[in-house]
Structure 1
């Protein structure tokens, strides 16, 4: 998760005042079906939109553990007085601190993390987020350099072309892909980015009856005002009531 851009990530190497347990410690052992959020900016906490998505995930998956992993320190005051304190009321939400160099140690990505190219990247927040997601998905034990030559969407697309007996992606399904169900965008990002304003304006969404999740296109909407009685406002009231009540009229600002 990240919002307004800032390429200063010095907090990733700062431990001053940090109260979170280390994700590199032996006590950090998430279950296989856990859900993870990475916060890679140096904001020192969460905003209301981020907190809402975490609460929503925790309520939607009460039998799963939710892990929120910060790349920078979280102070005692923030831990006890901010929206993080509200999220801690839910029993399946956990917080931990990631130290990226230690987190990447003895993995195929440790040289990249230590490189000057990475530290001087123009898109360092995004690159850090990508790297941490791969590390969290246990790239150390699962990466096969002789087989895996793509990343991002290309990695999944390449595998599906190999698994499925149909060449047309529109025909991919559990029946054609060895039992792997392939869902269309209407289930996970029902509104194309050109319709993103429909989430923020008062009214009702159309064509979203099958959606499990909603992609809010944060990169282009993080400064968009959430109007009262907009779809976003209504979803927040229902899916993250703790956070919505805490922020009131300031939710989403």
Structure 2
């Protein structure tokens, strides 16, 4: 009887081992398939115009295919030899595929042009701009300002003969969750690297001319970050040095999985090295080899988590101090504008043409406008 049980258990153990071997074989096959899929995905991700396989947001995948086409565009090319902006230039970049400026973006451009009549205000579109957009809406009135120049940027050509040429042509800006934002990050540093001047975000209101400021500057947003929404790199030795450091940083540290890494992250990292300190409040022209780091009161008088205050009835402190008001469009574009809000008052004062063009529609949320 003992021998019979022994044989029984031996057979049972043998069957278990056999099943385990079969499972292991299946797992090896499955593992091989997974490895193959990953390998194929990696190969696809190295090609230009690759899909956003890393960080897809199924409900809000940003389409930037317009950056690589030239259909229905009527604007001159910013990468042509004819595009030679003067040293006193301000650059705005529109990197969505809509091919026009909404009311708040147009307000930013008009306010910059009014504050700087002797400067060239460059609005560079990453998308084609159709001739109808120039005849209607905000572009039709902005074209009447003699110091505003509208141009089209083909980003792959714009990056040629710069340290970012291979990164851009290799499709890095398609391998990110924030394609529009990260394209803007790269373009702002490219423009300052190529031409020098001032870069401004399109969600600002310019209240005063920037002429009294030093030639090379940035501004702290908080005690932990130098912002990239307003930057000035001149064509002098200092400006060239900082611009080149920024381009090298993007090339070495570009990441598609971190929203701020390629914008404020760039200027913050290079200034920590340039100023030999990680304490942002200690950064100034005296400690940064002549590069000035202004306090937030001059460019970011309202911190981003209080951005809603621009759109509610009330007043904004430091209005006499600030050169620029940044209204944090990423967080506030779905908010309506109260007619007695700080933003409405700023718009009536500093971009009256655009404000009057839109009328009551100026008070609507940008995302809900017809």
The TM-score range, normalised by the shorter chain, is 0.7 to 0.9
Structure 1 window deviating more from structure 2 (156-165 vs 92-101): it is 156-165
Match of 1:242 among 353, 359, 362: 353
- The reply on whether 1:97 has 2:152 as its aligned counterpart is yes
- Report the CA distance between 1:19 and its aligned residue: 0.6
Alignment of 1:1-253 (within 5 A): 7-138=62-193, 143=244, 148=249, 152-161=263-272, 164=275, 168-253=279-364
**DSSP 3-state at the match of 1:214:** strand
Q: What is the TM-score with the length of structure 1 in the denominator?
A: 0.87
* Higher share of residues assigned strand: 2
Measured in 2, the distance between the counterparts of 1:92 and 1:52 equals 15
Inter-partner Cα distance in structure 2 for 1:162 and 1:217: 28
Moved over 6 A (4+): none
Counterpart CA distance in 2 for 1:8 and 1:100 is 15
Report deviation, 1:195.
1.7
Could you tell me how far apart the structure 1 residues matched to 2:71 and 2:270 are?
A: 43
CA deviation string 1:30-86 (max 9, x = no partner) = 012200000000012110000000000011111110000001111111112221010
Instruction: Choose 1 or 2 for highest CA Rg.
Output: 2
Q: Which has the higher contact order (CA 8 A, sep 6+)?
A: 1
Q: How many residues align?
A: 249
Q: CA RMSD in A?
A: 2.6
- The alignment partner of 2:149 has SS state of strand
Tell me how far apart the structure 2 counterparts of residues 166 and 136 of structure 1 sit (CA, whole Å): 27
Deviation by residue 1:108-136 (Cα, 9 ceiling, x = unmatched): 11111122443242221122111111221
Distance 1:10 1:184, change over 3 A: same
Q: Quote how far apart the aligned CAs of 1:171 are.
A: 3.9
- Scaled by the length of structure 2, the TM-score of the pair is 0.61
Moved more, 177-186 or 98-107: 177-186
Q: Give the Cα separation in 2 of the matches to 1:145 and 1:48.
A: 31
